[in-house]
A and B are shown apart, each in its own frame.
Chain A
Amino acid sequence: MSVDKQQLLQFLLRQGDNTLVLGHRVSEWCGHSPILEEDIALANTALDLIGQTQMWLGYAAEVQGEGKSADDLAFLRDAWDFRNVLLVEMPNGDFGQTLLRQFLFDAFQSVLMGRLMKSSDEQVAAIAAKASKEITYHVERSADTVVGLGDGTEESHNRMQAALEYLWPYVGEMFESDETDAAMAAAGIAPDPASLREEYEALIGKVFAEATLSVPESRYNHKGGRTGYMHTEHLGHLLTSMQWLQRAYPGCEW
């Protein structure tokens, strides 16, 4: 079944912008983490995410067919053209908040990639297969850290609980569905995100129980990232530093 190119492009931008923006956020930690092993692990996570971005946005640029590159998409779009979920653009906060955000996203990716590996679109399946090896490792690591800090000292527990309450309203957006998702599902390219929630809840429920953290009851969620309708104020600042060189010295080779 053929799929509308614009819809496929939107889908790919959502994938690539998620990993781009989160990779950028994680890279902000460079040299400032609580322990040397974490400096290494955070750099490694950011590196994986940027690698995945190159694949997703590379394919997006190809589908777009305007002769642009992954770099053009990353560095020359304004905030309203970004299609990442709000969760990944949220500020790092303390180390606990960063790792909790990572876990909430890794858990989603681990469920999603399992499905995307069976995508009817060969390139999507190939990217997912490559990414899923990294994601399996990421989710193990972020889950372990969430458990360690949640079930650590009183202070670490309180900080993790506060982080969970802060980030929880941004979880639901990952499971929103719109006509793009419907088109992807119809073409067998990607599952309807809403269909992933049960598996996701089971996964995070187990980890949070072990971490002695209580999942907030509210199901209210912020949204507007994956449609581009309304990002947070944070994204503009992130793009300001990320895109600065390309904007200040247009058309250069780097």
Chain B
Amino acid sequence: MYAQMIKTASAGVKSREEMTDQEREFQDKIDNDIKIEPRDWMPDDYRRTLIRQIGQHAHSEVVGQLPEGNWITRAPTLERKAILLAKVQDEAGHGLYLYSAAETLGESRDELVKLLHEGRMKYSSIFNYPTLNWADIGAVGWLVDGAAIVNQVALQRTSYGPYSRAMIRICKEESFHARQGYHAIMKMAFGTPEQKRQAQSAVDRLWFPAIMMFGPTDADSTNSDQSMAWKIKVKSNDELRQQFVDQTVPQIEYLGLDLPDPNIKWNEERGHYDFSDPDWSEFFNVIKGNGPCNVDRMKDRVAAWDDGQWVRDGLLAHAQKKAAAKVAAE
């Protein structure tokens, strides 16, 4: 999702007999849905895995500003521009909030950002796809935030207190984004033939990248047993993907657009929609850095950071001068 393919730091799920007393007590809390708080004891692997997952989620919020920012200066009306600005502002706020959650685990924001810029941490694969027409902005809100919500609603029940609370707060805003996105693409789908063409193009291009957001199929998803046992992960990738497909297909139909996958069909027996697997080789390529925008996204973020060094240094120097003057005056 916003956190995909998180490697669980673990040598495998331990049985109760293999656990130490501390580990057993910890696992009992989780099994009884008692939240783990920053001051509580936790296994190192639990801490490490969470830092990776929350950090990747935070990076996704931040990098996610770029594909949407790509259209802020071209938004077609004042209202659309205001809505998009407010959304991007929210996403940056989510980033901030999640970095703070990671900090409660002892990892600073600066350190996480450094790891991202060195290519040692990732962000969601979805933000390595371009936004090419105005309908893409609607589609991003509707499909991307929509997929994020499916995952994050599940994560509201995650075992780590600060992360769970972050998800509860963030989900409210994400739902708002998804609704606004759907409204924007609705205008396009119900508009002139040229607008409808943009809407169709957006759905065709973004459908598979959106369903890839949930990560590889369960069969290929490594180490998720431990994450499930720790309730860092609450539902499997395939479960979440199915839920997203089921809620989204009728929405595409309502828009009067062609389905982006000829194999989407209601399966009476399963009570779910069938659909094609995305091209997983494309997914793994994007994860490896070969998506259409990986290089430019990182170039933008690193440049923003490097170009801003003098600003951060300047403000810090000023704050130190003021603090020193205050001490001298006392």
Contacts and interface: CB of A to CB of B under 8 A. Distances in A.
Contact of A43 (B92, B109, B192, B310): B92
A175 interface: no
A150 to B, nearest CB: 8
Contact of B81 (A36, A37, A50): A50
A127 to B, nearest CB: 15
A27 B81 contact: yes
- Give the interface size bracket for A toward B: 35 or more
Interface stretch (B71-79, B158-166, B269-277): B71-79
Given A24-B73, A35-B312, A148 B307 contact: no
B76 A75 contact: yes
B95 A51 contact: no
Contacts of B194: 249, 252
Chain B binding surface, main DSSP class? helix
Most buried by A among B66, B69, B307: B69
Interface residues of B, number: 53
Interface stretch (A105-113, A134-142, A152-160, A192-200): A152-160
B19 interface: no
A244 B304 contact: no
Contacts of B96: 36-37, 40
B317 A245 contact: no
Contacts of A156: 310-311, 313-315, 317
A208 interface: no
A211 to B, nearest CB: 9
B294 interface: no
A36 B193 CA distance: 40
Chain A binding surface, main DSSP class? helix
A53 B82 CA distance: 10
Given A43-B92, A156-B310, A54 B82 contact: yes
A34 interface: yes
A131 to B, nearest CB: 15
A254 B76 contact: yes
B76 A155 contact: no
Given A40-B93, A149-B318, A245-B134, A34 B81 contact: no
Interface of A: 20, 24, 27-28, 30-40, 43-44, 46-47, 50-51, 53-54, 57, 70-71, 74-75, 94-96, 145, 147-149, 151-153, 155-157, 159, 241-242, 244-246, 249, 251-254
Given A43-B85, A241-B73, 16 more contacts: A30-B68, A31-B62, A31-B304, A34-B307, A37-B96, A39-B89, A40-B93, A40-B96, A50-B82, A53-B78, A57-B78, A148-B315, A152-B313, A152-B317, A252-B192, A254-B191
Closest 7 CB pairs of A and B: A34-B308, A156-B314, A152-B314, A30-B69, A31-B65, A43-B89, A34-B311
